[in-house]
Chains A and B, each alone.
Chain A
Amino acid sequence: DQQVKQNSPSLSVQEGRISILNCDYTNSMFDYFLWYKKYPAEGPTFLISISSIKDKNEDGRFTVFLNKSAKHLSLHIVPSQPGDSAVYFCAASIDSWGKLQFGAGTQVVVTP
Chain B
Amino acid sequence: EAQVTQNPRYLITVTGKKLTVTCSQNMNHEYMSWYRQDPGLGLRQIYYSMNVEVTDKGDVPEGYKVSRKEKRNFPLILESPSPNQTSLYFCASMSSLAGGNEQFFGPGTRLTVL
Give Cα A98 to B31, complex, Å. 8
Which of A14-22, A37-45, A69-77 is found at the contact surface with chain B?
Answer: A37-45
Cβ of B96 under 8 Å from chain A: yes
**With A34-B102, A41-B108, A43-B108: A99-B48 Cβ-Cβ less than 8 Å:** yes
Specify which of A42, A45, A100, A104 is in contact with B108 (CB 8 Å cutoff): A42
Is the pair B101, A49 in contact by a Cβ cutoff of 8 Å?
yes
**With A44-B90, A98-B94, A103-B42: A34-B101 Cβ-Cβ less than 8 Å:** yes
Is the pair A32, B107 in contact by a Cβ cutoff of 8 Å?
no
Q: Chain A nearest CB: distance from B7 CB in Å?
A: 14
Give Cα A91 to B59, complex, Å. 14
Is the pair B40, A104 in contact by a Cβ cutoff of 8 Å?
yes
- A36 nearest CB neighbor, chain B only: B105
* A99: B residues at CB distance < 8 A: 45, 48, 58
Is the pair A100, B99 in contact by a Cβ cutoff of 8 Å?
no
- A32 nearest CB neighbor, chain B only: B101
Chain A interface size, as a band, is 20 to 34
Interface residue count on the B side (C-beta < 8 Å):
28
- A103 nearest CB neighbor, chain B only: B42
Is the pair A98, B103 in contact by a Cβ cutoff of 8 Å?
yes
Query: 4 closest Cβ contacts across the A-B interface?
Result: A43-B105, A102-B42, A102-B43, A96-B99
Q: Can you sample 30 A-B contacts with CB below 8 Å?
A: A6-B42, A32-B100, A34-B102, A42-B107, A42-B108, A43-B4, A43-B90, A43-B92, A45-B105, A46-B102, A49-B100, A49-B101, A51-B100, A89-B43, A91-B43, A93-B101, A97-B50, A97-B96, A98-B31, A98-B33, A98-B50, A98-B94, A98-B96, A98-B101, A98-B103, A99-B58, A100-B43, A100-B45, A100-B101, A102-B42
CB within 8 Å of A: which residues of B? 4, 31, 33, 35, 40-45, 48, 50, 58-59, 90, 92, 94, 96, 99-108
